[in-house]
Amino acid sequence: MKKSVQKNKKSSESLESLRERVRKTIRLLKRAYPDAKCSLNHSNAFELLVATILSAQCTDERVNIVTADLFRKYQKPEDYLAVSPRELEKDIQSTGFFRNKTKSLQGTAKVLSETYGGRVPDTMDQLLELPGVARKTANVVLGNAFGVKAGIVVDTHVSRISHRLGLSAETTADKIEQDLIQLVPKRDWVIFPHLLIAHGRKICRARNPACDQCVIEKYCPSSFLKTGVMPGN
């Protein structure tokens, strides 16, 4: 795996140098975004699991609007099984892909009810057995509901900024995660994606990132101020 990280750097930056750059980057981002945290509203592990399933191909803002009513109507796994698929589809329709998400929610609710006594399991292997749950969702739940550092959440912001920082050249979330696991101190595995998401929304946007306002610009090989080429354009 070390080879994967090394190859995405145009320079001959060593693995230890890359890790030190990541540590310095994290320190600066923590100062810039002291309130960075999971942006999906939830009060327990089950609500977070539901919200994360709904967040696929949907903004967190939209999910929070939907779950404000959803969590009042459905408070435990059995509640999702007590309604028809059509009723649940209507309740979550605005999040997109609502038919597939309904199957995932009701399938997950069934497993939780029948296998785990209605509770959300707290291991990666058990979570990955739930319908509609992949590593990203499992990492979100483990890290933010249970404080378990099993991996690093990779979403579009994390993927984009990891590429720009030269932390990974991989194109799939699972492979990017494996590169990041080598570089990010384990103590920061949960907060790291929240920091990148906050930075991605405010500064390091997909198009026309504000490199001149970036607190980590000096550690970014893709900066417009260094290359003269605007990232994302």
Positions marked active-site = 136, 155
Q: What is the CA radius of gyration of the chain?
A: 19
* Residue spans of alpha helices (H) in the chain: 2-7, 15-32, 45-54, 60-73, 77-81, 85-92, 98-115, 124-128, 135-145, 156-164, 173-183, 191-202, 224-227
CA distances from 200 to 101, 179, 183, 232 (A): 26, 19, 19, 12
Residue pointed to by tokens 């490199």: 211
Residue bearing tokens 């979330």: 173
